[in-house]
Each structure stands twice: as C-alpha cells, then as structure tokens.
Chains A and B, each alone.
Chain A
C-alpha cells in the first residue's frame, strides 16, 4: 500500500557560517507513518527538525510539509503540525486545563469544542483529578504525556517530537509509545527523534543521521538485515562509529 506523502525533503541544507549542520538530505514520509529520526548528538537532527517546523530557514534545498512549502508558506505549515520540543514547553505556571485551552485556542478551535474535548482527553488519561493542578507540580512523565496530548489536540496532520521521552521512566515510556501508536492509527504522522534504540524498533521506518548526512534509511528489520545484526542498537553503533563530529 502506497501512503500519501506528507513530508517531502529534497536536498535540504543548513549552514551556520562555515559549519554545515545539515548537508543535503532528502527523504519522504507517508501519512500515518511513525518515522524515527535518529543520530548522534550534533549530527544535525534537531536542526533539520526545526527547519521542517518552520522555526529555522534552510540555506538551500526544498521541503514541503503537509503540502506547503516550508520556505514560503511556513505559517500554513504551522497550522498543520504539532510540536513537542526537547525543552519542556507547557507553561508551568498555568494549570492543566488552562494549558490545553491556551494552545487549542491559538490553533483556532472554538471554546465549546475545547471544553468538551478537554473533558474527553482528561478522562482518557485518567487525569481528571489533576485538572486544576499547576504544571510545575506534576511529575515529569505526566508532563510529557500531557505535552504530547496538547501537541496533537488540534488534530494536526503531522506531529514533531524532539526526544519526547528523555528522562522518563520505562513504564511511562511504554505508555507514551502507546499514545503515539494510537495517534498514528488516527492518521497523524509521527516524526520522532530519540536516543533510545528500543524505541527505534517501534518505528515504521528509521533514518540515521551521521555528520549532517542520512547514513541509512529503512524499516528497522531491513536495517538489521542489511548490517547483519540483531538489534537497532548494533545498527546505530556501526554507523555512528565512523562519525567525524565529536560530541
């Protein structure tokens, strides 16, 4: 089954002075896919992701996200994506429902829809008792689950997750990935970076960036076969051992 293409990247490059952070990368991501975007620290994944989200202007190359050109239509791109950054990004001096209401409002949802959808969400997360709790009082795992729920609250076509499970305990990580699967099933494309290789195994396809290039791109099974190893961890170690950029 050929999926509809929602992200199309063509020779995308970003230079900072003489340093080429992202060096002419190309790939496509299909609708509803869970796309793992892997790489060592400093390989250029966050830079590439920031370009796709319309936070950073590419030096050269083209990309379309949700059918809009990131160079010229970045505001339309922003209407169609959700984003959860490495740095925790909800307002910690607002409470749970206020954060949901704020971001949903920004994306243009109606106040009544926000209220009903908030009730459904909190019920599903088993979070109703924390409705009026300030974000800063919540444990990290809960914050991350909430941040993800907020990022997909307005039904974006694509959600970008930048190391969403960093510092989260294994049980919560597991729940987090269940939420990701559920979102993917509802048709939201997931674009996720991670340093956990067990999570890489959960992805439909994985790209591994080394020194600004994409060194490998395929499904986890194909990659393992290609490198004749048993785990994604070994695939990663194999590719990254040749990297020139240090930490």
Chain B
C-alpha cells in the first residue's frame, strides 16, 4: 500500500499536466448546468395558433386577445376559412386551429350553448395535446369571466383545485437539474478512467507497470481515487450553480447526496475500468462506453419515468445504477428525503459499487 502514494502522485500530476482535462472538468459542469436546464424543458411554448373567426364580434375579439396575451401561443394569422387554416397546418405555419362559430356572441348573450372547435396538429404529439389542453383552460377561464361580467347568475360550477406538491409550479428545471448532475458524473467519472487505462495500453507504459510487483488492487485504487475526488469537485460545482443561478437548494441534506455520490462515482469509475480492461484500443473503449452511457441515460428514468416503460424494460432499469442515484437526487432535492427513507436505494448502490469494483480488479490481468 506504500506504493499507492507514488501511483497517486503520478496520476494527479499527469492529470493536471494534461492541456485539456482539467479545463474540461470545469467547463463540462458549467455548460451542462447553465445551458441544459433551459433546453431540456418539457413545457410546450410558442404554439402557433391559427384562429378562424366566423363571428367578427367584440366577444370573439376579446377571446382572441386573451389567447394572444398568453405566453404559450403565438397568434400567427386569422385565415378566412377552416380549409385555409388547414392549409397553414400542412405548411407547418400553424400547430392548432380554433374555429369560432357564427353567432358566437349572440348565443352567449342569449344564454344558449355555443361550441368552439379546436383542431391540433398531432405530428408532434405532446405539442398537440398540451396545446389543446392549454387552450381549453384559457377558454374555460374566458367563460367564467363572461358569466361574472354579465349580471346573470353564474351557473353552478365545480371548481377543481389541483395542488402540486414538492414542485408547486411544475417547473421542469427543478426536476431536471438534479438529474443533469447525475449525467455529468456518468460522463466524467465513467469515461475518463476508461480512456486513461487504454491510453497506457496504447503507449506501452501499461506493460511496464505489469512487469513490476504492484498489486492489482493498488493499481486499480490509484486509478479510482483521483476520479472519485474529481467527481466530488464537479458535484460541488453543480450545487453552487444550482443555488446561484436557479436558486435551487435541496430540501434534504447535502450529506445524504454526498454519501450517495460517493458510492455512485465508485460504480461509474469501476465500470469504466472494467471496459478499459477488456479494450485493446481507445476506439474500442470509447465505442463501448458510449453505448452504455446511452442505455444509462435513456433507461434510468432520467427523461422518462421507469414506471411507464414496458415491464421488461422496468426490470432492466433495476440493474442500471444511475436509476437509483437519480431517484435519490430528486427525492433529496424536491422532497427532502433522508437516508432512512431511501436505505434500499443506498443498499442497491453499495451492492453495485462492491460488485463492479471487484470485477474491475479481477478483470485486470497482469499476465496473459
């Protein structure tokens, strides 16, 4: 174990002397934390509206203004007829068509029923369905206002009061930021150790190491520890950005997150080391790592909930370590969960860390 000191010294010096890596470790989190939360939003905005107004009354105009005033819609044009509006959809100039019938105002004043037709372009499914549901909300709102204005007794209305717990305003960013931190750790702590060892193989220094009496465990530890420390630095940087830029602080304790991160980084680095042990070239290692990173990203519940996946996929996701860490991160950040609430997830992470790193040591062969 005394040799570990010399090996760590070597790894750290090599890392710091690299013209690119230390900068990347700072630039990656900045980029991911400052840009990605804005672009990975699932909110649908800027829906292009096409409104066919067959009534041309002050009431219909009022409704049109109300829609135009919302953030979600862009009022593109007011075509003459429904077929003209459909043509706009075909040319991609409109996402949602609303047709206001003739005698709209008159029907409202007389108190008889009137219908507004909404047609949505569902090529982009979520945009179409969210667009029409937003529109429905606005029209309902408008309806209520109308009733208030006219002195007529408002019809008995059932008020549905939805209260969103944990993320009151359904802000997608609050949901995504903790998960993006996980993505960063997967990328940095999984990829770099893999590349590091394969690079030693390609340069021939690996053989020089294999001909020395270094124990396998010492060698693997010397490769793991620097990335472990780096992971903590990156994570801390992310916390600072989340707080400084988005005002986001965990409801729970940082200690819970750091404890989970300690295990998670070990898993990712160990995983990178296993791949490098089996790869002869940089190309091969990169290709395999990227394959797994894609699986990790798409199957861990990062973007889509694991519960909505087919049963077999949900099972597979149980064997994907990032899933547990993402859940822990979100629970701590949004719900304020603590260790006791999530001991099963911690247990899973601990198990993975043990297995992955044992395999890393065993698959490292000093002799062939």
Q: Which A residues form the contact surface with B (CB < 8 A)?
A: 53-57, 74-76, 78-79, 81, 83, 85, 87-94, 98, 101-103, 105-108
Contacts and interface: CB of A to CB of B under 8 A. Distances in A.
Given A94-B10, A105-B5, A75 B213 contact: yes
Interface stretch (B125-133, B201-209, B242-250, B342-350): B201-209
B211 interface: yes
Given A53-B211, A55-B368, A85-B208, A93 B17 contact: yes
A118 to B, nearest CB: 13
B211 A81 contact: yes
Given A56-B368, A102-B9, A108-B2, A85 B207 contact: yes
B18 interface: yes
Nearest to B18: A93
Nearest to A77: B213
Contact of A105 (B6, B14, B367): B6
Contacts, number: 77
Contact of B214 (A57, A92, A98, A106): A106
A102 B10 contact: yes
Most buried by A among B5, B6, B7: B6
Given A79-B213, A81-B211, A87 B3 contact: no
A120 B315 CA distance: 63
A58 B208 CA distance: 19
Given A78-B213, A94-B14, 6 more contacts: A93-B18, A94-B10, A103-B212, A105-B2, A106-B213, A108-B3
The prevalent SS among residues of B at the interface is helix
B17 A101 contact: no
A130 to B, nearest CB: 17
A54 B18 CA distance: 32
A97 to B, nearest CB: 12
19 contacts: A53-B211, A54-B211, A55-B207, A55-B366, A56-B368, A74-B366, A76-B213, A83-B211, A91-B205, A92-B203, A93-B17, A93-B18, A94-B10, A98-B9, A101-B6, A102-B9, A105-B6, A106-B6, A106-B214
A150 B328 CA distance: 49
A163 B10 CA distance: 27
Interface string B169-211: 0000000000000000000000000000000000111011111
Contacts of B7: 102, 105-106
The prevalent SS among residues of A at the interface is loop
B212 A57 contact: no
A78 to B, nearest CB: 4
A94 B7 CA distance: 12
A79 B368 CA distance: 19
Contact of A85 (B9, B18, B204): B204
A142 B95 CA distance: 71
Interface of B: 2-3, 5-7, 9-10, 13-14, 17-18, 203-205, 207-214, 366-368
Contacts of A106: 3, 6-7, 209, 212-214
B240 to A, nearest CB: 31
Contacts of B367: 54-57, 74
A94 B210 CA distance: 19
Nearest to B204: A87
Contacts of B368: 55-57
B204 A89 contact: yes
A98 B208 contact: no
A89 B202 CA distance: 11
A55 B204 CA distance: 13
A169 B368 CA distance: 34
Contacts of A76: 213
The 4 closest A-B pairs by CB, nearest first: A105-B6, A87-B204, A89-B208, A83-B211
A107 to B, nearest CB: 7
Given A91-B14, A102-B9, A55 B211 contact: yes
Nearest to A98: B13
B204 A88 contact: yes
Given A75-B213, A93-B14, A94-B14, A105 B207 contact: no
B213 A105 contact: no
A76 B213 CA distance: 7
A44 B204 CA distance: 19
Contacts of B2: 105, 108
B213 to A, nearest CB: 4
A81 B210 CA distance: 12
Contacts of B14: 91, 93-94
A169 B366 CA distance: 33
Most buried by B among A55, A57, A90: A55
